[in-house]
Amino acid sequence: MRFSGNSQPLKVLFVGSVNLNKGVPYVLDVARRLGDLIQVRMVGQLGVSAYGVSQLEQHVELLGPVPRGKVWEHYAWADVFFLPSLNEGSALVTYEALLSGLPVVCTPNTGSMVRDGFNGIIVPARDVVTMCEVLTRLATDTSYLEYLRANVAASRDDCSLSCYGERLIRCIGAPGSSRYSPEVGSVTEQILLWMILLLCVSVFIHGFFKLSRLVQFPFLTAAAFLPISFRNSMPRYTISNSLKRLWQRRY
């Protein structure tokens, strides 16, 4: 942790595959421009050429892959986490960094939970000038860095696995959430599941008993009305309910 008046460089951590998608050229460019103001450590599988490795080694501490259980030691070492990705889904390492108490500097492309100016800073992809300005401020303005760290600590639970599960259930539309409608959502799911079941039955009958689709039609039509006629007594095996039960059973 840095304190006011500390002359040590800002410790910047990168965790992930060392490749173009993760924005590694921009990490190198930032490290080259800021020089002794920051100390960059990169942890992860190397995915660049031998020339790229030689360039990185001149400006950053390139550790390569480390055992998963040892990664947390590097989070504990750092002052800030830096991930200038060009292409991600939702980078797990940003969650890990926040859980470790680190402010995160990243691009919108990381799909992170970072709230710009609250528990980290979001910078435009490929914008090395802005990246340098942000890291320079964090290296020289200790009070701002501590402000971000305090907010990270206060919002740490938002990145937990249980909170992620709750948000997933709310997005799907579980009972009790604002998106859930037992009159629409669950009935629609029931009908879709029932139609899939009837389709499977139809294929089985046609293949096993050699009955034509025309002969099957009146029976399948009658069966299609069963969930409507008995919808109040049928169990609600909806997709959202099933996911919730699986999540509660697992965690």
Question: Which tens digit of pLDDT belongs to each residue from 3-35?
Answer: 444 579 999 999 999 999 999 999 999 999 999
pTM for the predicted model, two decimal places: 0.67
Q: Where are the alpha helices (DSSP H) in the chain?
A: 24-34, 50-57, 71-77, 92-99, 128-140, 142-154, 161-172, 187-208, 213-224, 226-229, 239-250
Q: Which CATH class name applies to 10-156? A: alpha beta
The answer to which of 3-7, 36-40, 54-58 has the lowest mean pLDDT is 3-7
Q: Report pLDDT for 211.
A: 54
Please name which of 164, 180, 158, 162 lies closest in space to residue 248, comparing C-alpha atoms.
162
Q: Domain limits of the chain?
A: 10-156, 168-250
More confident residue, 209 or 104: 104
Helices 24-34 and 128-140 meet at what angle, rounded to 10?
50
Three-state secondary-structure class, residue 9 = coil
Residues 238 and 185 sit within 8 Å (Cβ to Cβ): yes
The answer to which of 38-47, 110-119, 183-192 has the lowest mean pLDDT is 183-192
Q: What percent of the chain has pLDDT over 90?
A: 56
CA 134, CA 128: separation in Å to the nearest integer?
10
Exposed e or buried b for every residue in 154-180, given b needs 16+ CB within 10 A?
Answer: eeeeebeeeeebeeebeebbbeeeeeb
CA 116, CA 121: separation in Å to the nearest integer?
5
Query: Which tokens hold the place of 78?
Result: 């750092």
